[in-house]
Each structure stands twice: as structure tokens, then as C-alpha cells.
Amino acid sequence: MRSLIFIAAALLTAGCGDSITPKISTDLKTTRGNGGLITLSLTVKNETDRPTVPLVVVVEADGKPVIHPAAFALNRNEAHTVTGTLDTKAAVTAQLTIKEAERGKMVTTLSKEIPAVP
């Protein structure tokens, strides 16, 4: 009997794990200036009526971190914008990764191509 209660509790706990996964939207904008300077602007918005868990946000360009702020949580329907710059005339791929800070669970990924200077 005790083992059945333990199994039921484990199943209920496992089923609730995904219900707290943050529901967020992201917007990664890139602007290329003269001379190869690229400005990356990332906006992360909480789409739910409850705060998120702390999130780890990383934007890399060709394997090098461009945006990597400290982990942060978003309040109800709050948006947070972070920016970074990169100086290159070559084409690069910006890779966004957002994970939960505590569990390390992947929340979202995004890849964006930035063309070379003509």
C-alpha cells in the first residue's frame, strides 16, 4: 500500500513539472552599421499571469557570447530587453538559448543569420 502511494505521488509530481515551464516570447533584432558593427537586441516577454523561474539567456555569434546577462526572472506579463554588439564584416549566425537557471531545462532556442557587409 505504501509503495502505491509513493508511485502515485511520484506520477503527480512528474506530471506537474511541465506546468511551471515558463511561457515566453522572444524577439531578436539585428542592426548592422557602417564598418561591420552589429547590434543585437533581445526582448524576452513573460506571456503568463505568474512570475517565471529565473532564466539564463545566452546569445552567441559563431560560438562567442555576445549577450550573457545574469539569470533573471520576469514578473507577470513583463518584458526585459538586453543588447550586445559584435564587430565583424563577415556573415555570422546568432544563436539564442534560454534555459531555466535552477533545473537547466531548455525553454527555447532560436537561430538567426546575419549577412556579410556587401
Domain containing residue 80: 22-114
Query: How confident is the model over 32-43, as pLDDT tens digits?
Result: 988 889 999 999
Residue 93 in domain: yes
The CATH number linked to 96 is: 2.60.40.10
Q: Does residue 38 belong to any structural domain of this protein?
A: yes
Within the chain, strands assigned E span 24-32, 37-46, 55-61, 64-67, 79-87, 92-100, 106-114
Q: Which amino acid is at 112?
A: K
Give the total number of structural domains in the chain: 1
Q: Does 14 reside within a domain?
A: no
Alpha helices in 17-113 (DSSP H): none
Of 4-8, 27-31, 38-42, 53-57, the one with minimum mean pLDDT is 4-8
The answer to whether residue 29 sits within a structural domain is yes
Q: If you average pLDDT over residues 58-78, what whole number do you get?
A: 92
pLDDT at 18: 47
Comparison of pLDDT for 25 and 11, the residue scoring more = 25
Residue 7 lies in a domain: no
